A and B are shown apart, each in its own frame.
Chain A
Amino acid sequence: MAEPGSRLRRGLALLALVSLGWLAAAGVRAEVRELREARVKLGPEGGAADWRPTTLPYHWDRENRGTSGSASFELTFAFAGATPTEPYGLYFPSVGNAAEIWLNDRLLARFGDIDTPDVDDYAKAPRYVPVPPAMLQKNNVLRVGIRADGGRRGGLSGVSLGPASEMRDNVFSHAYAWRVTGSLLLGMLSLLAAFVALTFWVMQSHRGADGRPHRDSIYLWAGVAELCWTLRVGDALLPEPPLAWPYWGVVVTAAYAGWICGVLLFCHHVAGWRQHRSMRWMHVATAVLFGSSMLASWLALDRHQPLFLTAWLGCATLFSAAYSCFYMVATVRHPSVPRALVAAAGMLNVAIGVRDWIVIRISDSFGVITWNRYVSVFFGLALLYIVALRFRDASGQARELLSTLASRVAQREEELASTYGRLEVAAREQASTHERERILRDMHDGVGSHISAAIRQLQSGETSRHELLRTLRDSLDQLKLSIDSIHLPVGDVGALLAALRYRLEPRMVASGLALEWAVEELQPVAWLDAQGMRHLQFLMFEAVSNVLQHAQASVLRIEAAMHGEMLLLRAIDNGRGYDIARAPRALRERTLAIGARLVLESRPGRTVVQLEFDEGRIPGPGAGAVRG
């Protein structure tokens, strides 16, 4: 364990070391001179042309009540020992608006044109002037000529002189980084925020109840605020602005007012007061604020009445402070993350705004800059965050909407499918009803009538076994034809004839009737539906049955061929013939029903039953024709 005495000694040694280090640093600092005592002589437009002593900084607007003019400053300094041999440098926190720097009657640097008023402004940024050691003497005279525009914060700050390495690398670089590079970064951030917000404003349009496109103005006000702020802080980077003074001054003040107005309206939207009646008053208040900013700055800068601008800035700050307090209370009552962010940023900006107003507009300080430009970054970040948040919510809503829409479409499709299904079932039921009706008709006309006939024959007791058998065979043949007709392709007369032959040929053979078959390839008869096919089958069955039973023919010839678009079907027998006037009525009726034209021709040795199916012929009355 160390003794208490030795510990004390070590502590004293450490203290001595620290003190030496501080002294060494003070020695370096001692080389940097602050030049504050000067003589000043105003230009001819200033009236007093005599040199008079002054202490820097020289705040032109304060000294000359906001008028424009020029002045020369003379500062002296001497080196006690030998003149320095290393490069030196001069640092001006603010000089201008335009300036010429002379050392020992030799021009060191020129910032802008000191003879032309209202054009350039080099006072917005710190200036560094290198001094070659050869120009330094034991006793030196530094002369600074300036041109100052009224209300443009011209003048001459205190001047620092020292070795170039210290002045340039530490003092000047540090100040430049804060005032110029900082402004550049802030301007870029604001520009980015403005671009994002305005892009959303342009793209996020929706149709309102009135059918017109509507855009969410929260993005507009965010974009306007950030765009104005870009102009406001970007001004520090423009020694030669695009407009002459004081117009440019009015523009920059209006940009500041635009930022305040945009931020206020944005805050109002964030709070959800878009539909609130206070929104109208906010619009009026911000419009007044914006308009009055231009008027006040015009009066201050052009009419040399700086009080107007000071008063306007005071009012704007006051109004913003009142709004911030009100907003903060509302946020405490109904907190939310966006509200809290905006309220906190607002309070901070208002506090800093008050500080800036006092330091820049009320006190005599010269060469200082606003802090607002730095703290406004919080506003920019809060704004970006909220815009992103809202966009995320909007996208979520859109997705939800899409999924709702998709489910609705699916539901509608399901309904349609169900309706279609019901229709299909109804159609099937209708088809099967038609089929049932057709089968019942067949049973009635065919099997039913034949069985009735057979019963009558049996009851009469006069019929022969052969006749009874024929009736029953007719019945079974009818039934077979009926079954065949179920499978017959609709309109296919060729298939119908083939099936008919297949069913009836055994009876023809049994009756000794020779069949000649001359059926060519046939085109389908388009209008012949299932019922029509059945009619045709009955018709042909009757024709063949007649030949078998009554004609006493030895040959039956069936012909079917296409004659152009017309299908011609003929049953020709060589029987004894009959009176065509007494041809069965059913024959004509069935012919009418299938839209064919019937031609009958009969004489002993040749009877022709001819059916003509003409393409495009509409089934209807008058289709039958008889030729004796």
Chain B
Amino acid sequence: MTIEQVAAAARPWTVLVVEDDPPTRAFFDGSVRGSPALRWLASCSTVGEALAWLEASAEVPDVLLADLGLPDGSGLDVIRAAVARYPHCEPLVISVFGDEANVLASIEAGAVGYIHKDAAPEDIAQIILEMKAGASPISPMIARRVLAKYRSLQADSRRSEAAPPVRPVEAATGRTLLSVREQEVLDLIARGFSYAEIARLKDLSVHTVQTHIKNLYGKLAVHSKNEAVYEAMRLGLLPGRG
């Protein structure tokens, strides 16, 4: 029994598509409609349209497929609005290149993964269902970037422990951002190992590896919120602690 079969047996996942390019939108719409495990809700081509749909919708989208470059703004705004209104909604970014700058920004806005525009039609539904089953894709480049950021936070945290705690939010997130296991998994991904190879090397199940990655996505989004709070405090927009 495939994931698709398992998913189709249960309630199908509802999907909202936000993409401005008509052929691509039609491609994604078709891919979603073609899967019995998914239920297409609507397609929007602009940020304004998407926000209005989210505002007016009576149905909760389980999955949001969002392009970043929209005519009237960034898809990041749609992701943020969707996550804010429907915390259980899981956004996936539609990306041509899956390049680290865009993907990281999307993750920090609340996305839990990304889909390449050139993916095969059958892969689209597969990626969505894998994501709902607990998987999150992460490229070695992104893993490397996250590790570098984590290490610099850790160094900051050590400094702030030696000195008076000048950046409490940062220090706290630095300590709690990654567990040792998550760090090991990230390190291997950054070196190009696949989830299966990592599971074999670390004596874990592939599912556990995927869970680690998905947790990491959540932490990155939280961390990005903490950073925003810290910045606001630093700029005097919020009262400082203690």
Contacts and interface: CB of A to CB of B under 8 A. Distances in A.
Contacts of A505: 194
Interface string A273-302: 000000000000000000000000000000
Contacts of A494: 190-192
Given A495-B140, A499-B139, A483 B97 contact: yes
Nearest to B144: A495
Q: Select the residue from A476, A497, A502 with max chain B CB neighbours within 10 A.
A: A502
Interface in A379-436: none
Given A480-B97, A483-B99, A484-B99, A502 B191 contact: no
A519 B192 contact: yes
Interface residues of B, number: 18
A495 B100 contact: no
B139 A502 contact: yes
A479 B97 contact: yes
Interface string A493-518: 01101111110010000000000010
A488 B139 CA distance: 13
B173 to A, nearest CB: 24
A498 B100 contact: no
Contacts of B191: 494, 498, 519, 521
B193 A517 contact: yes
Contacts of A480: 97-99
A500 B144 CA distance: 14
A487 B192 contact: no
Given A484-B141, A487-B141, A517-B197, A498 B192 contact: yes
Nearest to B190: A498
B18 to A, nearest CB: 23
B118 interface: yes
Contact of A495 (B101, B118, B141): B141
Contacts of A479: 97
A476 B99 CA distance: 13
A498 B100 CA distance: 14
Interface in B103-155: 118, 139-141, 144-145
B140 A487 contact: no
Contact of A517 (B97, B141, B194): B194
Nearest to B145: A487
Interface of A: 473, 476, 479-480, 483-484, 487-489, 494-495, 497-502, 505, 517, 519, 521
Q: Which 5 A-B pairs have CB atoms at the shortest separation, nearest pair first?
A: A498-B192, A498-B140, A501-B192, A483-B97, A502-B139
Given A499-B140, A521-B191, 6 more contacts: A479-B97, A480-B98, A487-B101, A489-B144, A494-B190, A495-B144
10 contacts: A473-B118, A480-B99, A483-B97, A488-B141, A494-B190, A494-B192, A495-B144, A498-B141, A498-B144, A501-B140
